[in-house]
Amino acid sequence: MTPPTPADSEEFDVYDAAGNHRGRRPRRECHGNPALIHRTAHVVVFARDGRLLLQKRPAHKDIQPGKWDTAVGGHLAPGESWEQAARRELAEELGIPGAGLPLEFLFTSQIRNEVESEDVGVFALVHDGPFHPPPAEIDELRFWSTAELRRARGGGLFTPSLDAELDRLAASGRLQL
C-alpha cells in the first residue's frame, strides 16, 4: 500500500447519485466511488485555428500523473457554480484572469470510471495565450491539432476523463475527430 500524498487528503464537497449533498470527504475516499460524486468545472481551450490546448499532469501531482488532460479543470469550492469555478481555475491553472473572458457553456458530463466519479460542467474558450501556469500545477502545456489527437487516442496518453470529453466535443461538432 502506498502512503497517502497531500493530494489524497484534499477534501471537497460530495453528492450522492440523486444530487444530495453528503458533506466533505478526502479525495482518496471519492475517486472511483460512485456513491460519492464530486463536481468539477473544465474549460476546453481552443486556439483560433481550432487546435485544442491540453495539459500534462506533473508526475508528483494528482491521481493520474504524467497523462494529458483538459487544459483547465478543478473542483468546485463550497457554494461555487460551475462557471465561477471555471473562471477561478483559468486564473489558477493558466494564469489568465477569467473574469472578463467569453466562456461558452457546452454541456454537463458524468464521469464514472475506476479513477473518477464526478459531474463536470464543461465550458469552451477561444484563447491563443499567452499562458502563465504555475510550475507545480502543469508539467507541459501545448496545443494539439485534430490529426495529433486522432493519432494519440487509445494509446494511454490521455486521462479517461479527457477521452470522454473528446467524444462529447466530437458529437457536439466542436471537434472533428
Cell representation of residue 175: 471537434
C-alpha distances in angstroms, 56 versus 33, 75, 93? Answer: 24, 18, 12
| Element of type H or E holding 168 | helix 160-171
pLDDT of residue 50: 93
- What string of H, E and C letters represents the secondary structure of 19-42? CCEEEEEEHHHHCCCCCCEEEEEE
Residue 15 within any structural domain of the chain: no
Residue 133 within any structural domain of the chain: yes
Q: What is the pLDDT of residues 123-146, one digit of tens each?
A: 999 999 999 988 777 888 999 999
Which position has the higher pLDDT, 5 or 121? Answer: 121
Cell representation of residue 6: 497531500
**Cβ-contact 159, 68 below 8 angstroms:** yes
pLDDT at 151 over 50: yes
pLDDT of residue 3: 45
The 3-state DSSP class for residue 110 equals strand
pLDDT category, 2, cuts 50, 70, 90?
Answer: very low
- What string of H, E and C letters represents the secondary structure of 83-101? HHHHHHHHHHHHCCCCCCC
CATH of the domain at 154: 3.90.79.10
- Domain limits at 167? 40-171
Residue 77 within any structural domain of the chain: yes
Residue 106 within any structural domain of the chain: yes
Spatial distance between the Cα atoms of 21 and 2, rounded to a whole number of angstroms = 30
pLDDT of residue 95: 92
pLDDT category, 103, cuts 50, 70, 90?
Answer: very high
| Cβ-based neighbour number of residue 69 at 10 Å | 20
pLDDT at 7 over 60: no
pLDDT category, 6, cuts 50, 70, 90?
Answer: low
C-alpha distances in angstroms, 129 versus 48, 69, 133, 140? Answer: 10, 18, 11, 14
Highest mean pLDDT among 28-32, 71-75, 81-85: 81-85
Number of domains the chain contains: 1
Q: Which residue bears the cell 479543470? A: 73
Q: What is the mean pLDDT of residues 86-90?
A: 95
Q: What is the distance between the terminal CA atoms of the chain, rounded to a whole angstrom? A: 39
pTM: predicted TM-score of the whole model, two decimal places: 0.85
**Cβ-contact 41, 120 below 8 angstroms:** yes
pLDDT at 62 over 80: no
Look over the chain and give the mean of its residue pLDDT values, rounded to a whole number.
85
Residue 164 within any structural domain of the chain: yes
